[in-house]
Structure 1
Amino acid sequence: MPTQQLDYFASLVSEDDHFPLTESAIAIAQHAYPDLVVQHVFDELDLLGDKLKQRVTHEMAGIQKLQILKNFFYKELGFGPNRNDYYDPNNSYLHSVLETRRGIPISLALVFMEIGQQIGLNIKGVSFPNHFMVRLSLPQGEVILDPLTGTSLSKEELQQMLDPYLDAQGYRGEYQLPLSAFLRSSSSREILSRFLRNLKAIYTQQERWERLLGVQQRLVILLPDALEEIRDRGIALAQLDYIRPAIEDMQTYLDGTEEASDLDEIRAQIIELEEQHRHH
């Protein structure tokens, strides 16, 4: 397993105060594209930023800058959703998104945020349920945008998008959280974990265990306290017949978890793996 890449990723995400979100997001792709040079992807982003900088002046209002950014990003460059193949993992890899101009909300948001930063727009990511959003504070108020299209969304539209999620979670009535609770800016660590969990879902569904392991290793580095990510790394390791480390991860999960619905299931899996190990 390529430890050099994992060490590099670990160095990027070790501190919350200095957390290079774009670089970390680009680096995620190295598990699938080992030859990827992160700096080359940055150079491409900088070229786009330089092009955009020529169109704005310092005294321009934020709302004007935003309009110019949106025109540049969606109309001129043609960034948008990959409607043909939403579940293509490449929709999550920034170098690929830059090449094809196609992505999912969170990957498009990261490129949009990065290019916006270059003209002084402090655009934040919002981990809205089922659809990643971006937000920008302007003197006129808060703007919430859909990163797939750049459309501004009203409170009413956002509430309509949120309601089915609240229903599914059983959060209606007296327990209903206000819309504002879902619109706060996410930390870089939160954004990156959502990014990785998207890939995790895709690779699990496609049963691409080698790829899944690459994602799981990064989730464990990113969220060292999340025992369920250690458990899931164990499950990926078991699929690839790395039996000893798989047992270790599952045991770590059991030792640290007091109440969970799957403890018996994991215990049974460990016994089965130990059997396999004995017969090898």
Structure 2
Amino acid sequence: MNEDLNLLGLIDEEEILLDEAALSLALLDHPGTDLAPYHDLLDTMATRLESVGGAETPSERADALAAVLAGEFGFVGDVESYDDPANADLISVLDRRRGLPVSLAIVWVSMARRLGWSADVLDVPGHVLVVLGAEVAPVIVDPFAQGVRVGAERLAELVEASAGKRRAVTHVAAMPNRAVLVRLLQNQASRAEQAGKGRRALELYVRMTTMAPAFPHLWWERARLELVDHAFGAARGSLGAMLELTRDPELRRHVTEALGRLPPE
């Protein structure tokens, strides 16, 4: 197992640098690739962003990010080939300047944080946005749409569209760093399964449980794919890990029942 992946599972949440971590994850699928040009590009974008100057408020910082990342460097959502797995691979995203909402949000948030700006990836049902400014007049933007502002009305529309009925916008929340990286890999895993590549999806869930071992639902998905692959011993181990993690009685019952249905060792 890659050392960087193991390290991601051990370090504290606040120690995770989203762009560096996402590059390390992408490198697993690009063995031997020299990451220096990608680090250089990220450094160049941060330097260019810093040179804009005068961006003191969240609104001004949103404008600066849009001008540099979308305007000068051309990062935009891939609407033509949205389901291409390359859109959730940061090496490919930096090469193509195209990506999914979550991969582009990683670029935007990472650049903002390099300058000491408050920025988080915002988990909106069915979408991912970026929020700038934690307390004073926060601004929400959509990196997939080149940094367009997202007001309260549009945010409510996104929530309602995903929910299928009216829900409060309080369901929207900033995502911890590990959850952002999990979201990135889940995009790849779901597309792999849709393409009939179950073992590829399983490989991705192994990565996810390694870097985010405290996320019970990841162990459940890993066990499900291990069962499809008739890896019963591995599935037993994954369900056991999940049982150790969760205290939810209903979930523990489901896991115990699933363990009971496994063939004897």
Q: Give CA-to-partner distance per residue, 1:220-271, whole Å, 9 cap, x none.
A: 12332334422322333445565532443345557875333x8656654x32
The one of 100, 117, 120 equivalent to 1:121 is: 117
Q: Is 1:200–2:189 an aligned residue pair?
A: yes
Q: Give CA-to-partner distance per residue, 1:16-46, whole Å, 9 cap, x none.
A: 2322222222222233222344554222211
Q: Is 1:212–2:201 an aligned residue pair?
A: yes
The one of 19, 42, 46 equivalent to 2:43 is: 46
Q: Is 1:61–2:50 an aligned residue pair?
A: no
Whole-angstrom distance in 2 between the partners of 1:236 and 1:183 = 30
1:125/1:133 contact within 8 Å kept: yes
Q: Give CA-to-partner distance per residue, 1:127-156, whole Å, 9 cap, x none.
A: 111110101128871211111121111111
Greater shift in the superposed pair: 155-164 or 63-72: 63-72
Aligned counterpart, 1:231: 220
Aligned counterpart, 2:21: 24
Whole-angstrom distance in 1 between the partners of 2:116 and 2:212 = 30
Structure 1 residues 252 and 135: alpha-carbon distance in aligned structure 2, compared to 1, 3 A threshold: closer
1:3-152 counterparts in 2 under 5 A? 3=1, 5=2, 7-14=3-10, 15-56=12-53, 59-62=54-57, 63-137=59-133, 141-149=137-145, 150-152=147-149
Whole-angstrom distance in 2 between the partners of 1:249 and 1:134 = 33
Q: CA deviation at 1:89?
A: 1.0
Secondary structure of the residue aligned to 1:141 is coil
- Give the total of aligned pairs: 257
1:176-187 counterparts in 2 under 5 A? 176=167, 178-179=168-169, 181-187=170-176
Secondary structure of the residue aligned to 2:139 is strand
1:81/1:102 contact within 8 Å kept: yes
Q: Is 1:258–2:255 an aligned residue pair?
A: no
Cα RMSD of the aligned pairs, angstroms, is: 2.9
Structure 1 residues 197 and 138: alpha-carbon distance in aligned structure 2, compared to 1, 3 A threshold: closer
Whole-angstrom distance in 1 between the partners of 2:179 and 2:219 = 17
Question: What TM-score, normalized by structure 1, do the two folds share?
Answer: 0.79
2:9/2:212 contact within 8 Å kept: no
The one of 162, 165, 172 equivalent to 2:162 is: 165
1:12/1:20 contact within 8 Å kept: no
Secondary structure of the residue aligned to 2:144 is coil
Structure 1 residues 204 and 259: alpha-carbon distance in aligned structure 2, compared to 1, 3 A threshold: same
Whole-angstrom distance in 1 between the partners of 2:171 and 2:84 = 27
Secondary structure of the residue aligned to 1:22 is helix
Whole-angstrom distance in 2 between the partners of 1:154 and 1:243 = 49
Whole-angstrom distance in 1 between the partners of 2:34 and 2:231 = 29
Whole-angstrom distance in 1 between the partners of 2:19 and 2:118 = 14
Structure 1 residues 225 and 184: alpha-carbon distance in aligned structure 2, compared to 1, 3 A threshold: closer
Whole-angstrom distance in 2 between the partners of 1:185 and 1:218 = 23
- Pick the structure with greater CA Rg: 1
